[in-house]
Each structure stands twice: as C-alpha cells, then as structure tokens.
Amino acid sequence: MNDMLLESPAGWKDYELIDSGGFEKLERFGKYIMSRPEPKALWDKSLSKKQWADMAHTEFTAGAGFGKSGKEDSGIWHMLKKMPGQWNISYGSGRADSPEFNLRLGLTSFKHVGVFPEQAPNWDYIYRQTKRVARSLKGDAPRPPKVLNLFAYTGAASLAAKCAGADTTHLDSVRQVVTWAKENMQSSGLDNIRWIIEDALKFVRREAKRGNRYDGLILDPPAYGHGPDGEKWKLDECLFDLLSACSSIVEPENSFVVLNLYSNGYSALLGKTVMESAFGLKKNPRARMEFGELYLEDRAGRALPLSVFVRMER
Ligand SMILES: C[S@@+](CC[C@H](N)C(=O)[O-])C[C@H]1O[C@@H](n2cnc3c(N)ncnc32)[C@H](O)[C@@H]1O
C-alpha cells in the first residue's frame, strides 16, 4: 500500500496561518488578518489574547446554534480595525509548475471568506495534471483537455485548470457563488469557463447518458447540500453513487481525478477505497493513486489538518 502524503501550501505570499488554538485560528489573507472559529484547533494558542486582538482586523463570533445542527449556522464579524468588506488576493507558489490567479474575498455570514487555503496543493496538482494530459493530446487533431469541477464554489480549482489551458466546466448549485467564481475568472485575466448551476449528481448522470467525457474531474463535496431544485445531497448516502456515475464520464486513458473530503471525519484511506471501488481501479494496473491529508501550519510549526484527498491519474 502506498504511503500517505501530508501536504500544505508553500510559497504563497498572500496567505498565512499565524496562530491556532482555543478552537480558533488567526489568518492573514493579503493585507487583512482575521480570527475565526476552528473546531479542530484543540490546543492552546501560542500568542496571547492581546496579541490576537492587536493583529486582527476582524473577528467572527458564532451565533447561538453554531455547529450544533451538523450544518452551519451564521454569526457576526466584529470589526476591530478598518478593512473593506471585499478585497483581492493572488494565488501563486513562485514555482513554474503552479498556477497564478486572483481571488476576490469577502466576509460571509458563515465564517467563510471565499477560499479554502489548504486546497493549494490540489490546485498545483490540477495544473500539473492538466498540462500532462494536454501534452498527451498533442497529436494530429490536438484539443485542450476537458476538465469538470463539481461543487466548485468560488472556483479556485476551476481557475487552476483554466490556467493550464483546460476547456473548463464549473458546476455549483448556488447561483451567487457561481457569479462570484465568474468575477474571479475575470479578475485573473481568464475567460471561457462554462458555468453550470445544477445538482452535481443529476448533471453527471445526464452527461453519462449523453456519452460526454472529461479528461479531468475535480470534486469537493460537502456533508450536506442541495441542488437548485431542492435535490438532497448527503455525503454518506450519495458519494458512492456519484463516483460510480463519474466513472463513466472520465476518459479511461490520459485522465485524472481529484476527490477532496473535509467532513464526516472521513479518512484518506476511506476516500481511496471508495474511489477504487467506484472506478474499478483494482482491475486497472495503469492507474496511479495518491492520497493523504491537507493541512495548514501556524508560525509555531503546528499542523492543523483540514481535509483529505485522493488523486488518481492514468
Ligand atoms: C465547501 S464548497 C467546496 C469548496 C471548493 N471546492 C473550493 O475549494 O473552493 C461545497 C460547494 O458545494 C455546493 N453544493 C452543495 N450541494 C450541491 C449539489 N447538490 N450540487 C452541486 N453543488 C452543491 C455548495 O454550493 C458549495 O459551493
């Protein structure tokens, strides 16, 4: 069995996890610093309460029911210093084999700001894989790789694929986040992403029926969600069905899949087994898999694990 990988963002000037602890994290996104709840920060902070308050521009306080329902409840951002409600940051690792794009951030009522920074190693992987597939498609009738991003939110992974030249399809069930992703594409100087507001499972089943195929597939499904017509998404009940449907829309050769999981306490090994089963990979000795955890490291060197990933290339 392969070894587990542990990966975190490297060389990204516009993001830093400054400190963590006491069920909170203190982060810098570009010029602005914020303190947010972080249920996994079980240890003590390394900086004092005063140091956090001196540094932070804003602090998120959860509403009474926050986190209890298994879903997210809203809360309030308390402004400690002057900062805009929306601002821009850039992604770049400084390495040649990594994408560069811009993201507009904003303070949402669910403690999120529009990007999940621990995902940066996935963006780098998507960029490298899209380039690899593009090289293999250079023949008599060259075409760009087709990449589908499901549960795509504000689009960082879509931008990573687009930066590498993919014909990119971005799907999310929420119109507002798709509009947000469009703004990110435009401010990154990119164009021509195909936007779809749909239920992920419904769309993939339809694509399978139509015989449409993709060279790259990215999915980051939440624990619970809804399609635009109220279709219910429940990770534990739907993940295997979705991956099984996905297996027939991914090209059998020269393709890649990235599955990210951040809820239900799912392990990377569980993700690997479910992907292998849904894609019938045990029977395909040419498929190469890697799996592991994505984490952020604070200034004191403590690793805060935030999600697990499974990647397959063939
Ligand atoms: C946490 S986000 C994924 C993060 C994203 N991959 C990133 O790193 O930027 C989960 C997304 O799934 C979307 N979603 C939830 N249920 C859905 C469904 N049934 N079909 C499509 N998208 C759904 C939500 O609107 C949300 O944007």
Dist. CA 170–CA 197, nearest whole Å: 9
Weakest mean pLDDT among 33-37, 39-43, 251-255, 283-287: 283-287
CATH of the domain at 107: 3.40.50.150
Residue 305 belongs to domain spanning = 5-313
- Evaluate if residue 195 carries a pLDDT over 90: yes
Beta bridge partners of 79: 58
Q: 71 C-alpha to center of ligand 1: Å?
A: 14
Phi, psi at residue 218, to the nearest 5°?
A: -125, 130
**207-221 pLDDT, tens digit each:** 999 999 999 999 999
- Say yes or no: CB of residue 159 within 6 Å of ligand 1: no
Q: Which residue has the tokens 């240890």?
A: 43
Q: What is the mean pLDDT of residues 225-239?
A: 97
Q: Is 72 in the pocket of ligand 1 (CB under 6 A)?
A: no
Tell me the torsion sign for CA atoms 276, 278, 282, 286. Answer: negative
- Edge-first strand order for the sheet with 75-79 is 15-21, 24-29, 32-37, 58-62, 75-79
Q: What is the mean pLDDT of residues 247-260?
A: 97
Q: What is the pLDDT of residue 192?
A: 97
Cα 253 to ligand 1 centre (Å)? 27
Question: Alpha-carbon distance 288 to 29, whole Å?
Answer: 34
Would the CB of 116 count as within 6 Å of ligand 1? yes
In angstroms, rounded to a whole number, what is the distance separating the alpha carbons of residues 163 and 127?
A: 7
Provide mean pLDDT across the span 40-53.
98
- Cα(52) to ligand 1 centroid in Å equals 31
Stretch among 42-46, 128-132, 156-160, 281-285 having the lowest mean pLDDT: 281-285
Q: Can you tell me which residue has the tokens 């395909």?
A: 284
* Residue 172 CA, closest ligand 1 atom number: 22
CB distance 199 to ligand 1 below 6 Å: yes
- Atom 2 in ligand 1: which residue has the minimum CA distance? 153
The model's pTM: 0.95
CB 22 less than 6 A from any atom of ligand 1: no
Q: How many domains is the chain partitioned into structurally?
A: 1
> For all residues of the chain together, what is the average pLDDT?
95
What is the best residue among 105, 153, 196 to mutate for testing ligand 1's pocket, by most ligand atoms within 8 Å of CB?
153
Cα(222) to centroid(ligand 1), Å: 6
Tokens, residue 272: 């690997």
With a 6 Å cutoff on the Cβ, whether 153 touches ligand 1 is yes
Task: State the pLDDT at residue 140.
Answer: 74
Ligand 1 contact via 215 beta carbon (within 6 Å): no
